[in-house]
Structure 1
Amino acid sequence: MKINENISLEGQRVLLVPYNENHVSRYHEWMKSPELQQLTASEPLTLEQEHAMQRSWREDHDKCTFIILDKQLWTAPGVEEEQCMLGDVNIFLTDPTDPSLAELEIMIAEASYRGRGLGKEVTRMMMSYGVTRLGIKKFQAKIGLDNEVSVGMFKKLHFQEVSVCKVFKEVTLEMTVDEAVRTRLRDETAFMKERDYTQACRDRQELVSQ
């Protein structure tokens, strides 16, 4: 999505950055994992197809994607940005007649980062961005029935289960954005800083070269 092609969102422990070409190889390696394919209901792609997908996510008006980085690692000297990658988070505008409805997906691809509360931080940040910058009024999350951790996380974030599809083996959870949700998101993401990504990268280079 063009709106976030040069936006970074800085959290307490993570940094969300646009999905760029230099991220594709690491992402492609992740998606060779049968576990991640199952959790994300994805089919394996060739590297060329992955590059085409990255361009699609960058250009299409109905997809907003950020790569999740380890914030502390990102500021370390001698570390390439691709080495800081730990997952991705997406907003998909699934209904052409209703741009305020969004499907939310998050993937913590690196197993060592799971179970540390990062998923909650990222999801809250992405929801806050979706509400304030994209005008989202309702979020959906479609999760595999076997993915109890993700289902549990979204329920802790006040999503409500609305349906179960046994054919596709997935559960759909929803949250309608009312004033109470807006206030809660604002309070829970008060730490978040929206920055120019290019400038953030320049600042990083200056920091690590000192």
Structure 2
Amino acid sequence: MKLNENTAISTSKVLLVPYDAHHVPQYHHWMEDPAIQEATASEPLTLEEEYENQQSWRTSSDKLTFIVCQPVPVLPGSSSNGGDSEKDQQPPIIAGKADAADRMVGDINLFLTPWEDDIDGADNSTPAPSDRKDYVVGEVDIMIADLANRGKGLGKAAVSAFLLFIRRNLRAILDEYAAGTGRGVAGKTRRPEMRAFMVKIKATNVGSMALFTGLGFVQRGEVNYFGEVEMGLDLLNGLGTAVGDDASGGYREVIYDRSKLET
């Protein structure tokens, strides 16, 4: 998505930055690890293919991606409501410094797809056809690449900040999705609405299951053929304040400044 092209999310525990070309070499290094390939159900790619993916994800209207980095110092009392005026008043995140390769720890993504009424275990009390909205489901995917960075709360901090960003920017996210996929156009007055979040987790990954359980996700169905469980968070009544609480502390949406990047 282009929505977050110039926006970073800074909290006391984690920094999220838009996925840029200068992140690709480190990302490619992570994805050469067979264990990560298995965990993410990914095929090995060449470095050139990874650069092509990065550009594709930036322009895709159904994918929202951040790179997860070590936190930068947060000034006391600097929590922001995410408005553009407050964003301009915050010190920017300098690309290539705060998100240098040795500060990168993983990535986090949102994949938007049309809602299917028959998703296992979901609350299917949908409105009558004449009143139905164009619902979408958002699949959340997070990877903390290095074992040394796991078990430190970075995953929970990243997911909490990510969900808070989605909650505060939901209309813009769904509008970009609608424009890119042709939904809500050609005279249609209905706009897409977020129906649910979902995650797919290896059944052996008890840490991730506990993380999402703590955020209100519940397991749907049994372990599938790939050894995964699906967990979901129903949003039929909208995105409440519990979704994306500022659990990380010091949440700020700030400008992502590329002016000092070496070319």
TM score, norm. by length of structure 2: 0.68
> 1:131 matched to which residue of 2?
167
2:114 aligned partner, one-letter code = D
* Counterpart contact for 1:95–1:101, Cα < 8 Å: yes
* Counterpart contact for 2:163–2:243, Cα < 8 Å: no
* Counterpart contact for 2:201–2:230, Cα < 8 Å: yes
1:190 shift after superposition? 5.6
Matched, 1:169 2:227: yes
* Counterpart contact for 1:131–1:137, Cα < 8 Å: no
Larger Rg: 2
Q: Bigger CA drift: 99-108 or 66-75?
A: 66-75
Q: Which secondary structure state, in structure 2, belongs to the residue aligned with residue 197 of structure 1?
A: strand
Instruction: Name stretches of at least 5 consecutive residues in structure 2 with no aligned partner.
Output: 74-92, 117-133, 172-193
Kindly indicate whether structure 1 or structure 2 has the higher relative contact order, using CA contacts under 8 Å at least 6 residues apart. 2
2:217 aligned partner, one-letter code = F
Instruction: Name stretches of at least 5 consecutive residues in structure 1 with no aligned partner.
Output: 206-210
1:100 shift after superposition? 4.0
1:84 shift after superposition? 0.9
**How well do the aligned residues superpose, as a CA RMSD in angstroms?**
2.6
**1:51-200 superposed matches below 5 A:** 51-72=51-72, 81-95=100-114, 98=134, 100-135=136-171, 136-177=194-235, 178=237, 181-183=240-242, 185-188=244-247, 191-198=250-257
1:176 shift after superposition? 2.1
> 1:208 matched to which residue of 2?
none
Q: 1:189/1:138 Cα in 2 relative to 1: closer, same or farther (>3 Å)? A: farther
* Counterpart contact for 1:93–1:103, Cα < 8 Å: yes
* Counterpart contact for 2:164–2:243, Cα < 8 Å: no
* Counterpart contact for 1:93–1:99, Cα < 8 Å: no
Higher helix share: 1
Question: In structure 2, what is the Cα distance between the partners aligned to 1:186 and 1:149?
Answer: 20
1:165 shift after superposition? 4.2
TM score, norm. by length of structure 1: 0.84
Identity of aligned residues (%): 36
1:56 shift after superposition? 1.1
- The number of aligned residues is 199
